[in-house]
Structure 1
Amino acid sequence: MIEAISCGGIVIYHGKILLLYKNYKNRYCGWVLPRGTVEEGEEFAQTAVREVKEETGVDAQIIKYIGKSQYSFQGTNDAVHKSVHWFLMKSSSFYSKPQKEEHFLDAGYYKYHEAYHLLKYSDERQMMERAYREYTSMYRGYSRKRR
């Protein structure tokens, strides 16, 4: 079995969550969160920021580490066990541009309930749910301090 590690971001801008739509030869299509493979010598946080930028064009800053999801699938020659480390991130802009070379056709920010129903994979929904709870609790704490 091959072990693989990726990192990604749940990017939020004004309460909306950044998603990507991928369509690869009509065999793989659906809405996903930005993520990608850790390069040699790279820290997980660096990978998450880089992958978000490459796949969406968004300059995002990490707020905090959210957790790890894991799954397995059959690769070309062997089974692959993948771990994905997720970070809650924020953006200072609504701008996004999907990376066409990776077969992303669309990118955009969606309200929580829309993003929840659009996401293709349950593990990504769980991580988004965790990140959004953290985001809303931080925001409530911030607004109370300003009163």
Structure 2
Amino acid sequence: MTKATSCGGVVIFRGKILLLYKSYKNRYDGWVLPKGTVEQGETHEQTALREVKEETDADASIIKYVGKSEYSFYSFHEQIIKSVHWYLMESENYHSKPQKEEFFVDSGYYKFHEAYHLLKFPNEKEILKQAYDEYKKLRSANRWGKKTR
């Protein structure tokens, strides 16, 4: 058993959420949130920002920590237990460009209900709900957006 840590972001611009579509060798892998592995010497925040930029080319900033999800999978007959730390992020615009090297073939911003139904993994759906609830609270308190911070 090996433990691994990743970090990612729920990136929002004008109420819409940034998702990535992964397809390896034309096999459906599904829609996901941007995330990736912590590199040596990086903080969780640095990893989340780097991975969002690498995987989506979006310029985003962290608003707040949302929470942690955990899951396990098998790789080469070894169980991997993965923890993912998630951050609510704000993008500067709707720009995104999927990272082809990671087999991302599409990306885009979607309304909450669309994003929720597109996401492949239940743990990412749960994180999306938590992050979007935080976004709505901040927006209703006029604490969302570059001009109000």
Deviates more, 1:109-118 or 1:25-34: 25-34
Moved over 4 A (4+): none
Deviation of residue 26 (structure 1)? 3.8
Task: Trace 1:1-147 onto structure 2 (pairs within 5 A).
Answer: 1-27=1-27, 29-142=29-142
User: Counterpart amino acid of 2:78?
Assistant: D
User: Counterpart amino acid of 1:109?
Assistant: Y
Give the distance between the partners of 1:66 and 1:50, measured in 2 at CA. 17
CA deviations 1:113-137 (Å, max 9, x no partner) are 0000000000000000000000001
Give the RMSD, CA atoms, in angstroms: 1.3
Give the distance between the partners of 2:33 and 2:99, measured in 1 at CA. 13
Report sequence identity in percent: 61
- Where does structure 1 lack aligned partners over 5 or more consecutive residues? none
Give the distance between the partners of 2:132 and 2:78, measured in 1 at CA. 35
Give the distance between the partners of 1:41 and 1:84, measured in 2 at CA. 17
Give the distance between the partners of 2:52 and 2:28, measured in 1 at CA. 20
CA deviations 1:32-72 (Å, max 9, x no partner) are 00000000010000000000000000011000000000000
* TM-score, normalization by structure 1: 0.95
* TM-score, normalization by structure 2: 0.94
- Where does structure 2 lack aligned partners over 5 or more consecutive residues? none
SS in structure 2 at match of 1:142: coil
Give the distance between the partners of 2:25 and 2:81, measured in 1 at CA. 24
SS in structure 1 at match of 2:106: strand
Deviates more, 1:26-35 or 1:62-71: 26-35
User: Counterpart amino acid of 1:130?
Assistant: Q
Give the distance between the partners of 2:129 and 2:55, measured in 1 at CA. 21
User: Counterpart amino acid of 2:110?
Assistant: Y
SS in structure 1 at match of 2:141: helix
